[in-house]
Amino acid sequence: MLEYAVGTSHAKVIFLGEHSAVYRQPALVFPLPGIQTIVTISPAPTKTSALQSDFYTGALDAAPEALQGLLKLQEQLDDKLNPQHQPLKFTVESNIPVGRGMGSSAATASALTKAYHAFFSADLSAQNLGQYTDLEEQITHGNPSGIDAKTVNANQPILYQHHQFQTIDFQLTGYLVIADTGQSSATKVAVAQVTKAMQTNPAPTQAIIEHLGLLVQQSLELLRHQQLNQTGKLLTAAHHDLQKLAVSTTKLDLLVQTALENGALGAKLTGSGLGGCLLALTDNQETADYLTTKLRAAGAVKTWKQNLADLNP
């Protein structure tokens, strides 16, 4: 038996298509391999399995309700791979913030699944990895789209539309900059807000939804031809649409404006909104570095950069 084993996964970000994807429009989602979650498994020094993480440290059987999805996944993995139920210690180290729409829970589930299979020297297919990640997401989020589970296990951009996923082969250049407002996304509130707008003001709301879908389609062609300047304009247009849906915030708007004034080709909120993160596109690392400094000065609590060339096949 190994002394320890490690599993890793990564964040994701919605490039274009949040909210409109609920209404059968497409969404383009990017994996962020530079923002990782690492799970390490080792034999427990005590008679009970334990978890060490920023969110909770202690015995697994005393973990809080918010971790029930992860615990259910751990139980299934343990039943299959550790039938003697040898006590284990699970250490979670993550650079993915919780509640920001970046796939934190799915990435942890994926990394845990990989670590379990590595620790017990068991084969793990891509299909089974996806199924285990989905299991945790179903419990944690109720009725998820599957975007997080798919993208944290992907190395290339994913096109999502009505429960269908397609891997997209781009030859990308440029950088994404992600900035955390420090405020959790209010996903349920934001989704309910858009639903209410569709009911009370259907025609203009539907037009916004369809325009967001159109922006996704346009971005596919532009990115295939490395047209970063034009793609950036689509991001900013999407932010204006999301403002009209009232899912942005004063801080998100400030960070978008800061990005646009400091070299970004385009910027928008990413995820459900009412908090969460900003996404900006730049054409080179120097601008990305400069932009992260300016965004932190404007109030971002944390920033990340992703070289888009890392997402190429």
Digits of tens for pLDDT over the chain (313 positions)?
689 999 999 999 999 999 999 999 999 999 999 999 999 999 999 899 999 999 899 999 899 888 899 999 999 999 999 999 999 999 999 999 998 999 999 999 999 999 999 999 999 999 999 999 999 988 887 667 889 999 999 999 999 999 899 999 999 999 999 999 999 988 889 999 999 999 999 999 999 999 999 999 999 999 999 999 999 999 999 999 999 999 999 999 999 999 999 999 999 999 999 999 999 999 999 999 999 999 999 999 999 999 999 999 9
Please report, to the nearest 10 degrees, the dihedral formed by the alpha carbons of residues 61, 62, 65, 67 taken in order: -60
**CATH for the stretch 171-311:** 3.30.70.890
**What is the pTM assigned to this prediction?**
0.94
Number of neighbouring beta carbons within 10 Å of residue 188: 11
* Beta-bridge mates of residue 41: 5, 90
Question: What one-letter code names the amino acid at 224?
Answer: R
First to last CA, the chain: 35
* pLDDT tens string 137-188: 888 876 678 899 999 999 999 999 998 999 999 999 999 999 999 999 888 8
CATH 3.30.230.10 maps onto the chain at: 5-166
Q: Is the dihedral of CA 178, 181, 186, 189 positive or negative?
A: negative
Query: Are 35 and 67 contacting, i.e. CB atoms less than 8 angstroms apart?
Result: no
List the Cα angle 211/212/217 in 5-degree steps: 90
Which letter, b or e, does each residue of 189-216 get, where b requires 16 or more Cβ atoms within 10 Å of its Cβ?
Answer: ebbebbeebbeeeeeebeebbebbbebb
Residue 100 vs residues 2, 83, 159, 204, 310: alpha-carbon distances, Å: 35, 36, 20, 28, 22
Give Cβ neighbours of residue 10 (< 8 Å, ≥ 6 apart). 31, 32, 33, 34, 35, 36, 37, 96, 107, 152
CATH 3.30.70.890 maps onto the chain at: 171-311
Query: Are 31 and 157 contacting, i.e. CB atoms less than 8 angstroms apart?
Result: yes
Query: Are 295 and 304 contacting, i.e. CB atoms less than 8 angstroms apart?
Result: no
How many whole angstroms separate alpha carbon 228 and alpha carbon 167? 20
Query: Are 147 and 104 contacting, i.e. CB atoms less than 8 angstroms apart?
Result: no
Arch. (CATH architecture) of 5-166: 2-Layer Sandwich (3.30)
Encoded tokens for 53: 């993480």
How many whole angstroms separate alpha carbon 213 and alpha carbon 273? 17
How many whole angstroms separate alpha carbon 32 and alpha carbon 104? 12
* pLDDT tens string 268-303: 999 999 999 999 999 999 999 999 999 999 999 999
